[in-house]
């Protein structure tokens, strides 16, 4: 559902919200990916992957995030969307679930106390025209730059909360690994540790065999002379099935003996 806004900023305080005498203000931290428009809290992004939108003040060159009065006929989310549109000329998704917090501060120009509520806003569209275009300038900055130039200390704290939430979210997400890393790299998976150590410590001869049916290039297979090892390998490898869900292929490994009681492991697909 798309929300439409007027090209004239709301004026006056008739609908202004107050909480025990404190004027209620809503602000946003608009951000975007350098390359994509996905939510930073859902894809493992780092703070250095993002850019943040700040605007100039109407009356001074000070730079800050968009903010404005929260009025009684709108929700917190609607107020955040409206103020960001009016002041910064961008549209996007307000991430209410990642609410950054509330800060109390005193307005130097008005001499009154305010409560500022801050939310992240993922920018999806940057407009060429907006209500306060002639009164403000827009600046896209990296995290460190935005934190350095932002005028209001409470907005800097909100930006720090954003970065902290993002870092914590990434720690909680399980790391994705290649599924093939979990597949066995040897067919001899159930051999006793003691016997396996003996096998690797003994000098191993390599013997090449040619497949008489396919005439494929020779494959090099380890050959072992020790009868105890031959017996152990045979018992272990007989009818052992290795199944790969990713490839959908079942490999049955069977021991094959030659005349000199040497063993070669051949995998049949």
5-25, pLDDT tens digit by residue?
Answer: 555 455 556 789 999 999 999
Confidence at residue 169, expressed as pLDDT on a 0 to 100 scale: 83
- For 79-97, the pLDDT digits (tens) are 999 999 999 999 999 998 9
Surface-to-core class of residue 62, CB atoms within 10 Å of its CB (0-12 exposed, 13-18 middle, 19+ buried): middle
Q: What percent of the chain has pLDDT over 70?
A: 56
Question: Helix, strand or coil for residue 78?
Answer: helix
**Cα(118)–Cα(191) distance, integer angstroms:** 60
pLDDT above 90: residue 121: yes
Confidence at residue 262, expressed as pLDDT on a 0 to 100 scale: 47
Domain ranges of the chain: 18-172, 179-268
Confidence at residue 186, expressed as pLDDT on a 0 to 100 scale: 43
- pLDDT category, 208, cuts 50, 70, 90? very low
CATH of domain 18-172: 3.90.79.10
**Verdict on whether the full-model pTM lies above 0.85:** no
Confidence at residue 108, expressed as pLDDT on a 0 to 100 scale: 77
Cβ atoms within 10 Å, residue 220: 9
* Cα dihedral 149, 155, 160, 166 sign: negative
**Cα(63)–Cα(74) distance, integer angstroms:** 26
Confidence at residue 200, expressed as pLDDT on a 0 to 100 scale: 47
**Cα(42)–Cα(196) distance, integer angstroms:** 45
* The token pair that represents 207 in the structure block: 């013997």
pLDDT above 50: residue 144: yes
- For 212-247, the pLDDT digits (tens) are 555 555 544 444 455 555 455 445 544 444 444 444
- Contact assessment for residue 236 and residue 188, using Cβ atoms and an 8 Å cutoff: yes
């Amino acid at each position: 559902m798309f929300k439409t806004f007027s090209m004239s900023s709301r004026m006056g305080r008739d609908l202004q919200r107050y909480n025990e005498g404190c004027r209620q203000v809503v602000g946003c931290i608009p951000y975007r990916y350098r390359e994509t428009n996905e939510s930073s809290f859902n894809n493992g992004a780092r703070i250095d992957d993002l850019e943040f939108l700040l605007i100039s003040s109407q009356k001074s060159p000070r730079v800050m995030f968009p903010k404005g009065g929260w009025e009684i006929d709108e929700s917190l989310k609607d107020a955040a969307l409206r103020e960001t549109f009016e002041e910064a000329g961008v549209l996007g998704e307000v991430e209410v679930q990642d609410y950054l917090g509330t800060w109390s501060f005193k307005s130097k120009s008005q001499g009154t106390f305010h409560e500022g509520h801050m939310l992240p806003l993922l920018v999806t569209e940057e407009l060429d025209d907006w209500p306060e275009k002639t009164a403000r300038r827009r600046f896209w900055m990296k995290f460190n730059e935005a934190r350095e130039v932002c005028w209001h200390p409470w907005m800097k704290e909100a930006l720090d909360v954003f970065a902290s939430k993002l870092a914590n979210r990434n720690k909680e997400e399980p790391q994705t690994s290649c599924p093939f890393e979990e597949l066995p790299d040897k067919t001899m998976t159930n051999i006793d540790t003691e016997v396996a150590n003996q096998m690797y410590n003994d000098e191993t001869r390599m013997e090449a065999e040619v497949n008489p049916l396919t005439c494929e290039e020779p494959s090099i297979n380890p050959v072992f002379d020790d009868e105890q090892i031959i017996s152990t390998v045979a018992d272990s490898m007989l009818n052992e099935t290795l199944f790969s869900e990713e490839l959908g292929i079942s490999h049955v490994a069977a021991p094959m003996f030659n005349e000199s009681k040497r063993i070669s492991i051949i995998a049949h697909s």
